Amino acid sequence: MERVIVTGAAGFLGWNLVDFLLAHDFLVDAIVRPNSPSNARLAEHPHLRVIPLAMEEISRLPEQIAAPCDYAVHLAWDSRRTDFAAQRASLSSTLDFVEALGVIGCRRFLGIGSQAEYGVTNEIMEEILLPQPVTPYGAAKVAALHLTRLRAQQLGIDWVWGRVFSVYGDYESETTLLSYLARTLRSGQIPQMTAGTQLWDYLHAEDAAAAMTALLLRGRAGEVYNIAHGDVRPLRSFTEELRTALAPDLQIAYGMSERPPTSMRPSVEKIQADTGWRAKVSFVEGVKR
């Protein structure tokens, strides 16, 4: 059986990835933040080892893992997106993680980036588009992309990068738009939002986990890939599908935003061509789960 090290394993994407990997017969070393309440999500499994280790101490990972690993996925990152110090710390610990993988001996590294790397654009977001981040979070992710690629090459580790767009599903943050809409509609209340005219894309977490696994196994070394559904349409189309699925007798109160809406138009042609991966969960099916 092949072994995967996953940082941020108890987070939203991390839990969904670990669940997918275990279901597909991988051994998983799950790196989690010590004493985090989220760690309880990771149920005992014969192929799962949970390793409580703060990212600030990730250089000590070789003390916990002696045998070489086949793959590593780096998801751990500080969520304070506008905090320069927090983003700098996440960048530093990311580089420490790659160094630790060099000591352990790891065949392939998948770094998880973000749509925030592209910044604000109404162009189709293809991987060849020049990143122009507008937040410390996006800028730190771009820096991590370049620095981990160079260091992994020096250490003889295959390197792949995945840029995640809007993902929803089990353990999604309660602060997202979909979580707010679902919670409000289920309580019998009328949610409020902007006009929803911007273009958007939503990917179910199970499909995101499958995409990350596909990149581990079949992504081309040295390449960057978008991780999105490919079903790009007006945001209001998604929110109306959610409303119809959860509370067809209620309405959503749409208003206008003070600022022009920003669209998101990811291309998934590259990941589909190189790995054969395709999203399987429709939005309607996903919100009903």
In terms of average pLDDT, the best of 64-68, 202-206, 260-264 is: 202-206
Distances (CA, A) of 187 to 93, 130, 165, 182: 41, 43, 28, 9
Whole-number pLDDT of residue 246 = 96
Q: What is the pLDDT of residue 101?
A: 98
Q: What is the C-alpha separation between 229 and 74, in angstroms, rounded?
A: 21
Q: What is the rounded average pLDDT of the residues 11-37? A: 98
Cβ contact 96:54 at 8 Å: no
User: What's the pLDDT score for residue 102?
Assistant: 98
Angle between helices 177-186 and 235-246 (to 10 degrees): 30
For residue 227, pLDDT over 80 is answered with: yes
Give the per-residue pLDDT at 97: 99
pLDDT of residue 257: 75
When pLDDT is averaged across residues 134-146 and rounded to a whole number, the result is 98
Confidence of residue 216 (pLDDT cuts 50, 70, 90): very high
- Give the model's pLDDT for residue 261: 82
Over residues 165-180, the mean pLDDT reads 96
Q: 166, 201 in Cβ contact below 8 A?
A: yes
CATH class of 174-201+231-265+282-288: alpha beta
Q: Specify the pLDDT at position 150.
A: 99
Cα–Cα distance for residue pair 152/2, rounded to 1 Å: 20
Mean of the pLDDT values across residues 162-188? 97
The predicted model gives 215-236 an average pLDDT of 98
pLDDT at 258 over 90: no
What per-residue confidence (pLDDT) applies to 193? Answer: 95
d(CA 201, CA 234): 9
Mean pLDDT computed over 200-220? 99
Residue 91 token pair:
């960048």
Check if the beta carbon of residue 219 is closer than 8 Å to that of residue 164: no
Whether residue 188 is predicted with pLDDT greater than 90 in this model: the reply is yes
- Extract the tokens encoding 27: 């051994």
Write down the pLDDT at residue 243: 97
Backbone torsion region of residue 281, taken as left when φ is above 0, otherwise alpha when ψ lies between -120 and 50, otherwise beta: beta
* Domain(s) of CATH 3.90.25.10: residues in the chain: 174-201+231-265+282-288
pLDDT at 122: 87
Query: Which of 214, 198, 197 is closest to 206 using CA atoms?
Result: 214
In the predicted structure, residue 66 carries a pLDDT above the cut 90:
no
Average pLDDT of span 127-134 = 97
CA-CA distance, 26 to 19, in Å (whole number)? Answer: 10
Domain with CATH 3.40.50.720 in the chain: 3-166+203-227
Of all residues in the chain, the percent with pLDDT exceeding 70 is: 100
Structure tokens at 164: 């995640």
Count of CB atoms situated within 10 Å of the CB of 195: 13
What phi, psi does 6 have (nearest 5°)?
Answer: -125, 120
Helices (H), the chain: 12-23, 61-64, 84-104, 136-155, 177-186, 205-218, 235-246, 269-275, 283-288
Strands 166-168 and 233-234: unpaired
Q: Which CATH code for domain 3-166+203-227?
A: 3.40.50.720
